[in-house]
Copies of this chain bind each other. A is one copy, B any other.
Amino acid sequence: VSSAQTLNRPIWLNSASGYVQVIDQRRLPHKLVIADLKTVDDTIHAIQTMYVRGAPLIGVTGAYGVYLAALTAPASDAADHLEAACAKLKAARPTAINLAWAVDRVSALVQTAADWPAKIALAREEAGRIAEEEVANCRSIGQHGLALIKPLAAQKQGPVNILTHCNAGWLACVEYGTATAPIYAAAAAGLDVHVWVDETRPLNQGSRLTAWELGQADVPHTIVTDNAGGHLMQHGQVDMVIVGTDRTTHTGDVANKIGTYLKALAAHDNDVPFYVALPSSTFDWALTDGLAQIPIEERDPDEVRLVAGLQDAVEREVLVPPATSRAANYAFDVTPARLVTGFITERGVCAATPEGVAGLFPEKIKS
């Protein structure tokens, strides 16, 4: 760990080695481990086994994967190698749209280069440009979200209680986060905020990652089971919900970590505002029915059966259910647009409707 960057970014280019480095997020919060990505296969492995996760970060990692594929391509059939690598990268995880978006963007640009060293340089630069754009997007999301929190803070005594699910923090992005950006902005503005952190089974990205991030930033927070949010909302303990998303249709349907739909139902039943924070790179401009059309990844059932944590300073995985019981592991669900109060994007807040999204991003809509 050579750079101060490592404490607020989960990915960076090591300019000395030319390789990419990422935080191995499987090891947090108990160990801060940095992993080298030297090849496209390293990159795919890191995406599939979730060293890196979160829609914007998967996109940036995929972009750097194109660079690594170009960097390590054999001279004999470099172009074929690069094309195959891009296809493999895009297939590494099916739900987050940022992956295909970023890989396509970098690989299209690379086509324009005159020679192979230029392709390598263009890919590296474009991956870096995507990373910086996501940083700028998240910073803007924070400011637009802050404008939603301020009136809540003005209306009440005590903290504004914000519930979030999974980790849509800087670990999932590059800096600031999506769902956490308004929270960090509110804390920086001196507002009294408190975060209910859903633990987010099966991989506990809430209790492992969001809690760690918020703790590092001294933001008050309390971990609750995924089961608790409805009860909290029934008792007036949640002022707003902010979550991230892995893919959102331009018609307003939101794919996000499994269980998001249940929190959206509870928010709707209790008149709690339910916001989704996302950069434009996470919109799917083609699909129109999230429930029918967004592919939902099914992952290894052992992620449900085994729980990782620390005992006596040793990282361990324990088996919870009987060894003979089956488990299933659906990684995402789709929250229909009707349950979403609004989207917080880099261009502002809009309704979760085709018209709302088109109003902010008119150039994306094919007429």
Contacts and interface: CB of A to CB of B under 8 A. Distances in A.
Nearest to A324: B215
B258 A325 contact: no
A50 interface: no
A319 B330 contact: no
A202 interface: yes
The DSSP consensus for interface residues of chain A is mixed
26 contacts: A199-B201, A204-B320, A207-B320, A207-B321, A207-B327, A211-B322, A212-B322, A214-B325, A221-B326, A223-B304, A223-B321, A223-B325, A224-B330, A225-B226, A226-B226, A227-B333, A228-B258, A228-B328, A231-B258, A231-B332, A231-B333, A232-B330, A234-B261, A262-B266, A311-B316, A317-B318
A225 B258 contact: yes
A334 interface: yes
A230 B262 contact: yes
B234 A321 contact: no
Interface in A329-361: 329-330, 332-334
Contacts of A306: 309
A29 interface: yes
Interface in A264-294: 265-266, 269, 291
A79 interface: no
A305 interface: yes
Given A201-B225, A225-B226, A296-B231, A322 B261 contact: no
Interface in A32-62: none
